[in-house]
Amino acid sequence: MSNDSVSKTVVVATLLCLVCSVIVSVAAVSLKPIQNENKLLDKQKNILAAAGLLKSGQSVKDAFSKIEVKLVNVSEGRFATQAELTELGVSDVSLYDQRKAAKTPGNNVAVPADMDIASIRSRAKYAAVYLYRNNEGGLDKIILPVHGYGLWSTLYGFIALEHDLNTVAGLGFYEHAETPGLGGEVDNPKWKGQWPGKQVYKSDGSAAINLKKGGVEVGRPQEVHQVDALAGASLTSRGVTNLVQFWMGNDGFGLFLDKIRSEGV
Ligand SMILES: Cc1cc2nc3c(=O)[nH]c(=O)nc-3n(C[C@H](O)[C@H](O)[C@H](O)COP(=O)(O)O)c2cc1C
User: pTM of the prediction?
Assistant: 0.89
CA distances from 56 to 45, 49, 52, 140, 189 (A): 12, 11, 11, 20, 16
What pLDDT, on the 0 to 100 scale, is given for residue 263? 93
Q: pLDDT tens across 169-225, in order?
A: 999 999 999 999 999 999 999 999 999 999 999 999 999 999 999 999 999 999 999
Mean confidence (pLDDT) of the chain: 95
**247 falls in which pLDDT band (50, 70, 90)?**
very high
Q: pLDDT tens across 128-167, in order?
A: 999 999 999 999 999 999 999 999 999 999 999 999 999 9
d(CA 213, ligand 1 centre) in Å: 13
36 pLDDT above the threshold of 90: no
Tell me which residue has its CA closest to atom 18 in ligand 1.
Answer: 233
Length of the chain, in residues: 265
d(CA 70, ligand 1 centre) in Å: 37
State which ligand 1 atom lies nearest to the alpha carbon of 233: 11
d(CA 230, ligand 1 centre) in Å: 10
Tell me which residue has its CA closest to atom 20 in ligand 1.
Answer: 233
Is 119 a pocket residue for ligand 1 (Cβ < 6 Å)?
Answer: no
d(CA 131, ligand 1 centre) in Å: 36
What pLDDT, on the 0 to 100 scale, is given for residue 4? 84
Residue whose C-alpha is closest to residue 188's, from 240, 132, 129: 240
Best residue for ligand 1 mutational test, from 173, 187, 234, 238 (most atoms within 8 Å of Cβ): 234
State which ligand 1 atom lies nearest to the alpha carbon of 237: 11
Q: If DSSP codes are grouped into helix, strand and coil, which group holds residue 202?
A: coil
State which ligand 1 atom lies nearest to the alpha carbon of 235: 11
What pLDDT, on the 0 to 100 scale, is given for residue 70? 97
Strand bridging mode 210-212 / 226-228: parallel
Is 232 a pocket residue for ligand 1 (Cβ < 6 Å)?
Answer: yes
CA distances from 149 to 74, 160, 218, 232, 242 (A): 20, 20, 28, 17, 9
Residues 198, 259: Cα–Cα separation, whole Å: 21
Q: pLDDT tens across 40-78, in order?
A: 899 999 999 999 998 888 899 999 999 999 999 999 999
Is 153 a pocket residue for ligand 1 (Cβ < 6 Å)?
Answer: no
Q: Which amino acid is at 247?
A: W
What pLDDT, on the 0 to 100 scale, is given for residue 143? 98
Is 151 a pocket residue for ligand 1 (Cβ < 6 Å)?
Answer: yes
State which ligand 1 atom lies nearest to the alpha carbon of 230: 26
DSSP 82-141: HHHHHHHT-S-GGG--HHHHTTSTTTEEEPPGGG-TT--SEEESEEEEEEEE-TTS-EEE
Domain ranges within the chain, ordered by starting residue: 66-263
Is 235 a pocket residue for ligand 1 (Cβ < 6 Å)?
Answer: yes
Tell me which residue has its CA closest to atom 14 in ligand 1.
Answer: 233
Q: pLDDT tens across 103-127, in order?
A: 999 999 999 999 999 999 999 999 9
CA distances from 105 to 89, 181, 229, 231 (A): 15, 37, 36, 39
